[in-house]
Structure 1
Amino acid sequence: MAGAAMPTSTVKANTDTKKSYLFPFILVTSLFFLWALIHNMSPILIPHLKKACQLSDMQSAFIDSAVFAAYFLMALPAGAVMKKFGYKAGIILGLALYALGAFLFIPAANAREYSFFLGALFIIATGLTFLETAANPYVTILGNPDTSTQRLNLAQSFNGVGAMIGPLLGSQFILTGVELSKEQLNAMSPVALQQYLASESGTVKIPYLVIGIVVLLIALLFVFTKMPELTEQKDENIDATTSEKGNIFRHRHLVAAVVGMFFYIGGQVGVNAFFIRFAKYTAGIGEKEAAAMLSIAGLGFMIGRFFGTFLMRKFKPQTLLTLYGAINVGLILIAMTTKGQIAVWTVLAVPFFMSIMFPTIFSLGIKGLGADTKFGSSLIIMSIVGGAIFPPLMGLISDNSNIQMAYILPLICFAVVVWFGTKGYKLDKAH
């Protein structure tokens, strides 16, 4: 009957269900923050370890390579582990690896050995691969199916929080602000030089020790928290999916999406990776101030995602993708040809327009794949290996020219995004 009161028992059951999902939802949402925190501390580590380990720009960029190579190499093993042992076990293992990698920063700093740092980052990123594989599907089942999209958007907003806090933490607790020239370093006695380098290297110990402890505590909470089982529905098209894998590349728009994502991630990572060095070169801004400014870029990325979602109610995704890509090409061109605050702030504006690119390229790439959707999705995700390749190339350009010229690579990357938004997404329709 319309207007009739819901039975008390039903109301109580619904209320109890919401309460039982609330704490697991908070735990899973914390994972979105944790992986964003690490990703956005990489631009801090690049100039810091360059100084502490006396690296070239190209060598320092392998920090991003270690992280994104782990995603590329460990995504399929992570999925296999979770299929066998469950998502909760995968999350706990991911958090344990995350904490282990963070703790390994302490002996790496003591040894002041760059390869040790890279190994620790690879272990952290392996843990992140497990977390990202599990978190998105988990969020969708922790509550009413009708509101799963809202929950996922809420959880993903904590990526933006991590993007803001990561650079702030790095600027306060890792970067010292002591930036000596080659002449000043050469003028030091061997003992004084080693003391200085050891002091610089050692600043990562406490932050990563604290991060490791926090991550372990969250892992323990997962151990003792009853989590709902995430059961995957049987894929009715499993045979069709398997039979079509050999022909997956007949979807020309999917191939274009793989290429577009490869370049987009390369551009995204490259823009942030060398921002601190860029700010110093173009405007004389110190490392601590530049690191704090990166948090503004994180805020812009978060706001841009919400604003872009709103605009997509009025504009086609491919139209907005093309426009945002073109704007970023223009911004980077300005950044490459000017000096001072103009150059710095144009780079800081880029993340706002990057915000919609990943989900838009992804959704356009898998559109219409049918039984090939899962395999196509995996190919697009694996293409984020671009984040491991472009930063070292930027470093190589910087070593042979300057860091401002190195931004030619992100410019090219966003030009490829423009191509995908205008032509690539509809290649299948062109024949």
Structure 2
Amino acid sequence: MTHATSAPRSSFMPMCIIALLFFIFGFVTWLNGALIPFLQVVCQLSDPQALMIASCFYFAYVVMALPMAMILEKVGYQYSMVLGLSIIALGLLGFIPAALLQEFWIFLLAQFVIGSGLTILQTAANPYVVNVGPTSSAAARIAIMGLLNKGAGILAPVLFTAWVLGGFSDINLTLINEMPAQQQQLQIESMAHQLITPYVGMAIALLILASGLSRFSLPDLALVASTENNEAYAGEANQGYIGKSTIWQFPQLVLGAIALFFYVGVEVIAGDTIGLYGASIGVANATTLTSYTMAFMVVGYILGLVCIPRFVSQSTALRLSATIGFVISIALLISSNEQSQISQLLWGWTGIATLPNSVALIALLGLANAMVWPTLWPLALAELGRFTAKGSAILIMGIAGGALMPLIYGHLAQSSSNQQAYWILLPGYLIIGFYAFYGYAMRNWNGKHEGQTPT
């Protein structure tokens, strides 16, 4: 087949575009980690209410995944990107009336619109990266994209704190509540208005990018490459999709979507609650704490690039991730808020501010989480053939874990304590572990492991 030799040359520019998109994914997504404690102050929210900021964002993936997949099939990869960027820009502009009125429901609506735009981008981008080359090295390709994604995640909270907070970096809900009513209202209005300029700037940048893409002649390679590669690999793997009529006949996909649901849940908890938790125990500059989690995710991606598939297989990396996440979660539940030996050992010698052990362990979850997404996608999409596009949409719907699990954490934090609420991580890592040790290799619901699965 001629596409086997031509694909590497023709896919360079699409991969550059995908790389830029993954940076945008990360920047917009991990702004939430700084936005949550900020809006908790501006809108006077409880922890469960504040975490709805993340939930509305991720809930969009559930509602919009299949409709966006249909749009993708109709208009193609390039114009889906243009549409997605435009929708994100629209959501960012929604922060203008939200900030002027300090109305929480408008912030939530804007978050849903942003999540909807990201849905169509993610639905196309992830299977493209998986199938543009050999499945055995798909995790490494996704890891490269993940470095850009999480690198943006490091920058986003820091830039948010610099652009938006300015002199408000030490303001928290407790201090706001202690102010006289008139001073409190002036402080809240001043903070809210600080959102407008940076969000307008981001919206303009995305609209310029969308306009440029609409005029650029970009080959619609993503879905073509996905179908061709999967059909080629399916031939080598006993044509696993032959004889199957629905997407639900693929256990590796369905169980993968369930595992992805819990993975996104634990990832969002680690990235988006660290600021709330830090603020609750008096850590300074709590809006920047997401950067610590993202930094450890970057370390994890680099390890994945070095080790997969050279030293460990994709399935082995997934098993290690689940195991490390489970162990760190147990340590988090019993760790100290007063001592800081962990951060002193890991980075105290660099001059970077140290953290209490409990906060440092939340950040370390980034290391455990880093290689779950890159390894789970190729394992779940293995041997789907012509079902790959729908399979991708099903996996994208698994991102709903980011909508539900943080809410559960918030209610647990309110009924017990912020630290003990992290027990919700344990079942998440157990289910990821089940998939890593057993579920990924299932090819029939009777439990049989058939075909040659990419590991």
SS of the residue corresponding to residue 419 of structure 2 reads: helix
Q: Larger Cα Rg: Structure 1 or Structure 2? A: 1
Q: Deviations over 1:9-59 (max 9, x none)?
A: xxxxx9xx97x9877654443221111101111111111111110111111
Q: Unaligned stretches of 5+ in structure 2?
A: 1-5, 235-239, 338-355, 449-455
Match of 2:118 in 1: 128
Match of 1:393 in 2: 408
Residues 44 and 173 of structure 2 are in contact (CA less than 8 Å); yes or no, is this contact kept in structure 1?
no
CA distance in 2, matches of 1:304, 1:194: 43
* Partner of residue 31 from structure 2, selected from 28, 38, 41: 41
Change over 3 Å in CA distance of 1:370–1:92 after alignment to 2: closer
Change over 3 Å in CA distance of 1:21–1:243 after alignment to 2: closer
SS of the residue corresponding to residue 83 of structure 1 reads: helix
Change over 3 Å in CA distance of 1:424–1:21 after alignment to 2: closer
CA distance in 2, matches of 1:153, 1:361: 12
SS of the residue corresponding to residue 260 of structure 1 reads: helix
1:296 maps to 2:302? no
Q: TM-score, length-normalised on structure 1?
A: 0.83
SS of the residue corresponding to residue 178 of structure 1 reads: coil
Match of 1:263 in 2: 262
CA distance in 1, matches of 2:17, 2:314: 32
Structure 1 residue 417, shift from structure 2 partner: 1.5
Residues 398 and 404 of structure 1 are in contact (CA less than 8 Å); yes or no, is this contact kept in structure 2?
yes
Change over 3 Å in CA distance of 1:296–1:405 after alignment to 2: same
SS of the residue corresponding to residue 45 of structure 2 reads: coil
Q: TM-score, length-normalised on structure 2?
A: 0.79
Amino acid at match of 2:422: Y
Match of 2:201 in 1: 210
SS of the residue corresponding to residue 41 of structure 1 reads: helix
1:165 maps to 2:148? no
Change over 3 Å in CA distance of 1:426–1:222 after alignment to 2: closer
Amino acid at match of 1:110: L
Which sits farther off after the overlay, 25-34 or 403-412?
25-34
Q: Deviations over 1:160-196 (max 9, x none)?
A: 22111112112222342233554x5455443222212
* Partner of residue 324 from structure 1, selected from 321, 326, 333: 321
Residues 84 and 121 of structure 2 are in contact (CA less than 8 Å); yes or no, is this contact kept in structure 1?
yes
Structure 1 vs Structure 2 CA RMSD: 3.3
Q: Where in structure 2 are the equivalents of 1:15-414 lying within 5 Å?
A: 26-136=16-126, 154-175=144-165, 176-180=168-172, 182=174, 185-230=176-221, 232=224, 244-246=244-246, 248-282=247-281, 284-286=282-284, 288=285, 290-309=286-305, 310-340=307-337, 341-369=356-384, 372-414=387-429
Match of 1:424 in 2: 439
Q: Deviations over 1:212-268 (max 9, x none)?
A: 11111212221332223447378889xx9797345x545444433232111111111
CA distance in 1, matches of 2:35, 2:359: 19
Structure 1 residue 303, shift from structure 2 partner: 2.6
Q: Deviations over 1:325-364 (max 9, x none)?
A: 1211121222221223221212111111211112322333
Change over 3 Å in CA distance of 1:324–1:101 after alignment to 2: same
Amino acid at match of 2:123: T
Residues 146 and 298 of structure 2 are in contact (CA less than 8 Å); yes or no, is this contact kept in structure 1?
no
Identity of aligned residues (%): 28
Change over 3 Å in CA distance of 1:65–1:227 after alignment to 2: same
CA distance in 1, matches of 2:414, 2:141: 45
Aligned length: 406
SS of the residue corresponding to residue 197 of structure 1 reads: helix
SS of the residue corresponding to residue 54 of structure 1 reads: coil
Q: Unaligned stretches of 5+ in structure 1?
A: 1-13
